[in-house]
Amino acid sequence: MSDQIKQAIQEYATRLGDDSVVLGHRISEWVSYGPFLEEDIAYGNVSLDYIGRARMFYTYAAELADDGRDEDDFAYMRNDREYRNLLLMELPKGDFAYSQVRQLFADVYYTLMLPELLQSKDETLSAIAAKAIKETKYHLRRSRDWVLRLGDGTEESHKRTQKALDQLWGYTHELFDMDETEQLLADAGIGVDVSRLRDSWLKMVSDILTEATLTVPEDSWAVRGGRVGYHTENLGHMLTEMQIVHRSHPGCKW
Amino acid sequence: MTTSQEENFMRKISAEEKIEPKDWMPDAYRKNLIRQISQHAHSEVIGMQPEGNWLTRAPSLRRKAILLSKIQDEAGHGLYLYSACETLGISRSEMIEQLQSGAAKYSSIFNYPTLTWADVGAIGWLVDGAAIVNQVSLQRTSYGPYSRGMIRICKEESFHQRQGYEAMLALAKGSEGQKAMAQDALDRFYWPALMMFGPHDSESAHSQKSMEWKIKRETNDDLRQKFVDQTVKQIEVLGLEHPDKNITWNDERGHYDSSDLNWDEFWSVINGNGHCNRQRIEHHLAAHEEGEWVRDAITAYNEKKRAKKAQHAA
Ligand SMILES: [Fe+2]
Ligand SMILES: [Fe+2]
Ligand SMILES: [Fe+2]
- Spacing, Cα B156 to ligand 3 middle (Å): 7
DSSP B105: -
Q: What is the CATH number of the domain that holds A26?
A: 1.20.1260.10
Q: Which residues contact B218 (CB under 8 A, 6 or more apart)?
A: B137
Confidence of residue B312 (pLDDT cuts 50, 70, 90): confident
Structural domain of A219:
3-248
For residue A102, being part of any structural domain is answered with yes
Asked if pLDDT for residue A7 goes beyond 60, the answer is yes
- Spacing, Cα A169 to ligand 3 middle (Å): 40
Chain A residue numbers touching B283 (CB-CB < 8 A): 32
What is the count of structural domains for chain A? 1
For residue A151, being part of any structural domain is answered with yes
Check: CB of residue B136 under 8 Å from CB of residue B94. no
Confidence of residue B2 (pLDDT cuts 50, 70, 90): low
Query: pLDDT over 90 for what percent of chain A?
Result: 99
DSSP B38: H
Q: Which residues contact B22 (CB under 8 A, 6 or more apart)?
A: none
pLDDT, residue B1, reads: 53
- Spacing, Cα B78 to ligand 1 middle (Å): 7
Check: CB of residue A128 under 8 Å from CB of residue A134. no
Residues paired with residue B19 on neighbouring β-strands, in sequence order? B143
Answer whether A48 sits within 8 Å of B72, measured CB to CB: yes
For residue A254, being part of any structural domain is answered with no
For residue A195, being part of any structural domain is answered with yes
Q: What is the pLDDT of residues A91-111, one digit of tens each?
A: 999 999 999 999 999 999 999
DSSP A166: H
For residue A17, being part of any structural domain is answered with yes
Return the biggest CA–CA distance within chain B: 81
Long-range Cβ pairs for the range B142-147 (8 Å, 24+): B142/B12, B142/B13, B142/B18, B142/B19, B142/B213, B142/B214, B142/B215, B143/B18, B143/B19, B143/B33, B143/B215, B144/B18, B144/B19, B144/B20, B144/B21, B145/B20, B145/B21, B145/B84, B145/B87, B146/B33, B146/B37, B146/B84, B147/B18
**At CA B151, angle to CA B145 and CA B155, rounded to 5?**
145
- Spacing, Cα B288 to ligand 1 middle (Å): 21
d(CA B51, CA B119): 8
Q: Which residues contact B84 (CB under 8 A, 6 or more apart)?
A: B37, B145, B146, B149
For residue A23, being part of any structural domain is answered with yes
Residues paired with residue B257 on neighbouring β-strands, in sequence order? B248
CA B10 to chain centre: 28
Answer whether B291 sits within 8 Å of A36, measured CB to CB: yes
Answer whether B294 sits within 8 Å of A148, measured CB to CB: no
Answer whether A58 sits within 8 Å of B79, measured CB to CB: no
For residue A253, being part of any structural domain is answered with no
Averaged confidence pLDDT in chain A = 98
Answer whether B295 sits within 8 Å of A36, measured CB to CB: yes
Residues of A numbered 185-224 whose beta carbons fall under 8 angstroms of chain B's beta carbons: which are they? none
Check: CB of residue B256 under 8 Å from CB of residue B250. yes
For residue A162, being part of any structural domain is answered with yes
Rg over alpha carbons for chain A, rounded to the nearest Å, is 18
Answer whether A241 sits within 8 Å of B78, measured CB to CB: no
Which site among A40, A69, A93, A162 would you substitute to test the B interface, given the most B Cβ atoms closer than 10 Å to its Cβ? A40
Confidence of residue A1 (pLDDT cuts 50, 70, 90): confident
Interhelix angle B277-290/B292-313, rounded to 10 degrees, is 30
pLDDT, residue B203, reads: 85
Q: What is the pLDDT of residues B160-216, one digit of tens each?
A: 999 999 999 999 999 999 999 999 999 999 999 999 999 998 887 777 888 889 988
